[in-house]
Structure 1
């Protein structure tokens, strides 16, 4: 098993290390800045005040769509998605990516879980909201899928970066919209969750590769 991990393709392709490191640094800066801006806040301000009235409280059939997305971020739904993606990675002999699927999601969820009580932003008076764990999880899974596809397709740096960021944006926007539409988060909570995943997953992938290379 040790040999399989050591010789497996990298979780973070070499061509993506530098651009995703810069993306992670920028995402971390935005995550921290939004956390400071909304520190112990519970009201609507700025972009949230402008966007929330037009998004919050969607009616059927869009509400049903939002609930489907939301289920993917719940414990049962997320466990199913992580297990399926890890299994696919294992079946296509991407052992490190299978490990990243689990550890990347764990790291991302850990970041959002730790930040919520620190930032102390609330919605509906009592629920900690910043950053959005659902949005972070969806974005994290999208990044892992994109890393797997970029490696399998053998794309160059530019198209691979577009693929990773493109899938991350699609997943982040979809889940972020669902969480705001269901009244669970402010729009900037979703942005924070998106940034948490962009910061945590590449760092975890780099760590997985470093440990695997030293086995």
Structure 2
């Protein structure tokens, strides 16, 4: 119980920090004070432009697309249902569905236009926060979370590192291809991580309560 309480406190503090970060980025976009930050990073990332690298970045941005997320999610749900992981199935649906809904609401609220400095692919829609970033963050972190809980210790670090790699490359690809500002990325990571912490914290409380009730019923 003490361990769970400690985790919940950590999650609460983290959520507050993420909310502050998101609020700061959003307000900075509104007053224009984040332009220098965005421009500097865009020039740095796009300064590495090369034909082969462009193709690599297109691959990663495709992996973060809606179709890819739906495909990966469908496979994950199929496996979870096959192994009868009902609680984790519900958690996965809440995380992915909630992230998609949150991104849509935030985009419609802020209605930020996409950058036009050096766009290598064409895409429509609003820019802030990045949908690719939010979905990638939620998808790969929740996959790592589920694998962490079900796998043996030797493979756990690999799951986390793989998730971080995929998130990082998808985020960089959006800046490199000229369809997102770096602040869109920061906002997307903050928003999706905020939602992830809420979902996994509720899941932890539910699982702890279920274990406690099971313990008392056995006794």
TM-score between both structures, scaled by the size of structure 1: 0.75
SS at match of 1:174: helix
Q: Which has the higher contact order (CA 8 A, sep 6+)?
A: 1
Partners in 2 of 1:53 and 1:138 — Cα distance? Answer: 24
| Partner residue of 1:138 out of 130, 136, 139 | 136
Paired residues, what number?
196
Relative to structure 1, the CA distance from residue 169 to residue 35 in structure 2 (aligned partners, 3 Å threshold; closer, same or farther) is farther
Relative to structure 1, the CA distance from residue 165 to residue 19 in structure 2 (aligned partners, 3 Å threshold; closer, same or farther) is farther
| Partner residue of 2:15 out of 16, 24, 33 | 24
Q: CA deviation at 1:193?
A: 0.8
Quote the residue 1:7 is aligned against: none
Q: CA deviation at 1:183?
A: 0.8
Quote the residue 2:25 is aligned against: 34
Relative to structure 1, the CA distance from residue 27 to residue 144 in structure 2 (aligned partners, 3 Å threshold; closer, same or farther) is same
1:149-188 correspondence to structure 2 within 5 Å:
149-153=147-151, 169-188=164-183
CA contact (8 A) 1:70 1:179 kept: yes
CA contact (8 A) 1:139 1:197 kept: yes
CA deviation string 1:96-138 (max 9, x = no partner): 2222222201211222221123223222468521110101111
Q: CA deviation at 1:93?
A: 3.8
Considering only CA atoms, is the larger Rg found in Structure 1 or Structure 2? Answer: 2
| Partner residue of 2:109 out of 112, 115, 118 | 118
Partners in 1 of 2:172 and 2:162 — Cα distance? Answer: 15
Quote the residue 1:202 is aligned against: 197
Q: CA deviation at 1:33?
A: 1.5
| Root mean square deviation, CA, Å | 3.2
Quote the residue 1:3 is aligned against: none
Quote the residue 1:4 is aligned against: none
1:88 aligns with 2:79: yes
Q: CA deviation at 1:139?
A: 0.6
TM-score between both structures, scaled by the size of structure 2: 0.74
CA contact (8 A) 1:48 1:188 kept: yes
Structure 1 portions without partners, runs of 5+ = 1-12
CA contact (8 A) 1:116 1:128 kept: yes
Structure 2 portions without partners, runs of 5+ = 117-123, 211-219
Q: CA deviation at 1:210?
A: 6.2
